[in-house]
Chain A
Amino acid sequence: MKNKNVILSNIYSVLLPVIIALFIGGIIIAAIGENPFLTYQVMIQKSLFSAKGILKTLHFAAPLILTGLAIAITFKANIFNMGVEGAAVLGAFFTGVVGFSLKGVNPVLHVTLCLLTGMLVGIIFTLIPAVLKAYFKVNEMVVTLMLNYVVAEVVKFLAQGIFKDPASGYVSTYAIAESAMFKKLFNSDLTLFFFIALLVFGILYVIFKKSKLGFEITAIGKNPEFAEAAGMNVAKKIVVIMLISGAVSGLAGAGFLMSEKYRFTLDFSGSPGLGWDGMLIALLGNHSPIGVFVASVFYAALKTGSEYIGLFTNVPKDIVGVIQGILILCLSVKFVSRNTGLMGRWTQWLGKIRSKRENAMSVDGREGEQG
């Protein structure tokens, strides 16, 4: 009974923000003179109401599952690693380099090499903020944000310079070799990358839920002082957690490049970027692996659907970003604790009304006795 209540209130506490965000998004759409219902209808129909649409949604969910998990594992340990974006971009860039530099390699080997490159680059990139945080107590949030800008400038420099494909009309690196591409499956957009994302999801599920590391992540996130006193060697664990996050982020970038983009462009990560989408997804999924999975599919559906709204309405597809911002604002409220969050206040308020009524009744009762 109790468990059921907890699950229910968890669902409410996610549904409510989603509804609020869609509602405010609807007001904005109406404000520019468009029909919000039509807009949302197009979004959902195109992404969820056809087999092709669903497969496309799952295809776009794959990198989001990974960045979502990469953020969730650090957020759960109360580490604000914003470097997921940077790690994904940098990982993708060098994956691209390996993808187009090696020619005539066995596809399996080439794909493996590319994925490993992405992960390795992600790890190396994240090593900087991880060590700074763990051993020098430098605020990881500001450092990772600054490093993201560094990454953006560096890849811009490289993509405009030595790796630029002169045949391309805009700034872009060479396309990766056929042997490094994920093949489309079932005559749809879906590729093997989605199943790799599922595998990583499975591994991280075990880490989160069953492993000693998962136990320690929870403890560090909830009370780092206690974690240290219980012999968890928090500094070392922070490095481990950050590096896992970096590897998964790099993999996300690599896979997205190899399954969708095939070449690195300056808008590779999109707006606001895979890492930022991951943050929304981690919050929406309440840092739990299954939640992250569901949230990625939901958000991928929004994004996939948004590609079509331009065909039917005048609403720019950037509306998704607006909804994302509002959603994060709403989610920030319930994220801290159930008691202070919106839902908690709501139930408290209900409780207050109820107990007031009871009081009034008991006072009446007493008076009745006296009378």
Chain B
Amino acid sequence: MNAIAAVNLTKKYGDFVANDNINLSIAKGEITAIVGENGAGKTTLMNMFYGLQRPTCGEIYVNDQKVNFSTPLDAINCGLGMVHQHFKLVPSLTIFENILLGAEINQRVVLKGRFEIHLPFIDRRRERKAVDRLIHDYKFELDPDERVENISIGAKQRVEILKMLYRNVDILIFDEPTAVLTPQEVDELLVNFKELKKQGKTIILITHKLREVMEVSDRVIVIKKGRVVGSKPTNQTSPEEIAAMMVGREVMLQVNKEKKPALGNKVAYRVSGLSTNNYSGKKVLNNISFEIREGEILGVAGVEGNGQSELVKVLSGLMVSTEGKVQLYDEDITNKWPNELRKSGVGIIPEDRYAQGLCKEMSLSDNLIAGYHSDGKFCRYGILDKKNARKNRDTLLEKYDIRVADPEGAVSQLSGGNAQKVIIAREFDSDPKVLIASQPTRGVDIGSIEFIHNKLLELRRLNKAILLVSSELSEIMGLSDRIIVMYKGKIVGEVEGDKADSSRLGLLMAGITK
């Protein structure tokens, strides 16, 4: 029996076909991995299964019954639940309130033992009890009274799973569940998967990480450009074959890094004793010190939310440090404003592409000069030289292989990979002395990842200093000469690039330093 089957499922957005005649079936009680590149159409497919989007045409069957979901609630009522990549939790509510959100238990008054009256007030005591039982049944480690804003990412994910289990679903879809976990948390999650499978649940795992696919799944379905391009039992395939199916050609799964010790080189960038507080006064950076030499890539690893964002913000002038010093060669650049930093020769690839890196609604040529728009090249007597900006755009589009339908149009038309290349082009072309790169390949297709990695290595060869912050552990290990690990705003360890292995880094990322 099939848990889910799709017949000729198609989803179009205007002229763009996100899913093109998808036919697939997912067997009950199995773990099925659906893999594909960013933008291949996996998420669209799952959103249609889950009632978040309606198919343009085609049919969906759940447990061999034809279904037509218009909201996620319909899907949940049909026994289909989804754990999203970006958790759908309410930070200010407690764990049990989040689990029962939308299914609250109201207070009741029983009159004369017969008439039951539902009051509009929530019965917190009974809600708690129900969640306690659930946590016990599935052997999860959670305190139901904790507020969600105070718990770890792994715990948040467990809350999401419980939210679905409370609603008695037997098909669970996981969208990129391991993207933000430490290696140890990933292992734990994979154990949970096996436990859920044992209890008869069907699991669909959307991912682009092949290690998990090989380890836990029964079948792999590969999607490329909105079409199913392969479906095989996991034990009859290999990571290389899956990767080739995903991209359509052979891929190097490992970055080729030429070894060139930077040990004797001059120190280009030095951070000493850097600290800062967040909005509520909590110390989010605590005495951070490191140095980067010319021709060196320093990787910063850590579970998200351990101070990396704040570190990048302070180093790029978007946040003020309360203590400490930042030096570029002999120049003190502590707490300088972003325009001053750029003038000194600091290139910045910010963490959130569309928040800090680009302005979606502005044109390509405007985006490609942003940050350097005061340079004499583009601006004279306060008047912008738009012609020169356009010339600059044409050069950079060519040089950095940015594919764009309408060069006069806005940045919003670009795919994730090409948008990221716009930032790369802008920052690399200004010839920085040091580059701060935060999550440079997040949400980017494999082709662009290769391109960006090669560009970073090229910069390293030119003897520039690079700070690489990434939550993608393989990226950090593949590119860095040295790796520092952040935990709760502190540096908890440093590892040589070629001596790094994921289990050692994973322990450091969890704050275990022994």
Q: Which residues of A contact B (CB under 8 A)?
A: 2, 206, 210-216, 218-219, 222-223, 225-233, 351, 355, 359, 363
Contact = CB atoms under 8 A, between A and B. Distances in A.
27 contacts: A2-B406, A211-B384, A212-B379, A213-B382, A215-B366, A215-B373, A216-B373, A218-B366, A219-B362, A219-B370, A225-B356, A226-B355, A226-B358, A226-B359, A228-B356, A229-B338, A229-B348, A229-B356, A230-B373, A231-B317, A231-B339, A231-B342, A231-B371, A231-B374, A233-B337, A355-B12, A355-B56
Interface string B367-389: 00011011000010011101000
Considering residues B337, B360, B384, which has the most beta carbons from chain A within 10 angstroms of its beta carbon? B384
Contacts of B337: 231, 233
Contacts of B12: 355
Nearest to B371: A230
A114 to B, nearest CB: 29
Q: Which 8 residue pairs of A and B lie closest in terms of their CB atoms, listed nearest first? A: A231-B339, A231-B338, A229-B356, A230-B370, A230-B371, A223-B359, A226-B359, A222-B361
A254 to B, nearest CB: 26
Given A222-B362, A355-B12, A229 B384 contact: no
Interface residues of B, number: 34
Given A225-B355, A226-B357, A355-B12, 13 more contacts: A206-B383, A212-B383, A216-B373, A218-B362, A219-B366, A219-B370, A223-B359, A227-B359, A228-B338, A230-B338, A231-B341, A355-B56, A359-B57
A212 B381 CA distance: 9
A228 B370 CA distance: 10
A231 B337 CA distance: 7
Interface string B471-490: 00000000000000000000
Contacts of A225: 355-356
Given A219-B362, A228-B338, A351-B14, A210 B383 contact: yes
B357 A229 contact: yes
B320 interface: no
A223 B360 CA distance: 9
Contact of A233 (B339, B355, B382, B384): B339
B355 A223 contact: yes
Nearest to B366: A215
B81 interface: no
Contacts of B379: 212
A215 B360 contact: no
Contacts of A227: 359
B316 interface: yes
B183 interface: no
Interface in B326-374: 337-342, 348, 350, 355-362, 366, 370-371, 373-374
A121 B342 CA distance: 38
B57 A363 contact: yes
B449 interface: no
Contacts of A210: 383-384, 386
A218 B360 CA distance: 12
B318 interface: yes
A229 B350 contact: yes
A215 B366 CA distance: 8
Contacts of B318: 228-229
A275 to B, nearest CB: 28
Interface of B: 12, 14, 56-57, 316-318, 337-342, 348, 350, 355-362, 366, 370-371, 373-374, 379, 382-384, 386, 406
Nearest to A227: B359
Nearest to B10: A359
Contacts of A231: 317, 337-342, 371, 374
Contact of B370 (A206, A211, A226): A226
Contact of B382 (A2, A211, A359): A211
Contacts of B366: 215, 218-219
Given A219-B359, A233-B339, A363-B57, A212 B370 contact: no
Nearest to A218: B362
A233 B317 CA distance: 10
Given A212-B379, A219-B359, A229 B316 contact: yes
Contacts of A219: 359, 362, 366, 370
Contacts of B382: 211-213
A212 B359 contact: no
Contacts of B406: 2
A56 to B, nearest CB: 37
Nearest to A363: B57
A297 B170 CA distance: 65
Considering residues A228, A230, A351, which has the most beta carbons from chain B within 10 angstroms of its beta carbon? A230
A211 B382 CA distance: 6
A206 B337 CA distance: 28
B370 to A, nearest CB: 4
A75 B459 CA distance: 42
Nearest to A3: B408
Contacts of B359: 219, 222-223, 226-227
Contacts of B56: 355, 359
A215 B375 CA distance: 14
Contacts of B383: 206, 210-212
Nearest to A210: B383
Given A210-B383, A212-B373, A215-B373, A232 B356 contact: no
Contact of A212 (B317, B357, B361, B384): B384
A135 B340 CA distance: 19
A209 to B, nearest CB: 9
A230 B426 CA distance: 11
B438 to A, nearest CB: 11
Nearest to B426: A230
A219 B363 CA distance: 11
Contacts of B341: 231
A178 B318 CA distance: 55
A206 B381 CA distance: 12
A216 B339 CA distance: 13
A227 B355 CA distance: 9
Contacts of A229: 316, 318, 338, 348, 350, 356-357, 371
Contacts of A233: 337, 339
Contact of A226 (B342, B356, B374, B386): B356
A210 B389 CA distance: 12
A207 to B, nearest CB: 9
Considering residues A212, A223, A226, A355, which has the most beta carbons from chain B within 10 angstroms of its beta carbon? A226
A214 B371 CA distance: 15
Contacts of A213: 382
A228 B337 CA distance: 9
A210 B382 CA distance: 9
Contacts of A223: 355, 359-361
Considering residues B56, B318, B337, B359, which has the most beta carbons from chain A within 10 angstroms of its beta carbon? B359
A228 B350 CA distance: 12
Contacts of A212: 373-374, 379, 382-384
A9 B337 CA distance: 40
A230 B360 CA distance: 14
A81 B492 CA distance: 48
Contacts of A228: 318, 338, 356
Contacts of A214: 384
A232 B338 CA distance: 8
Contacts of B339: 231-233
A136 to B, nearest CB: 15
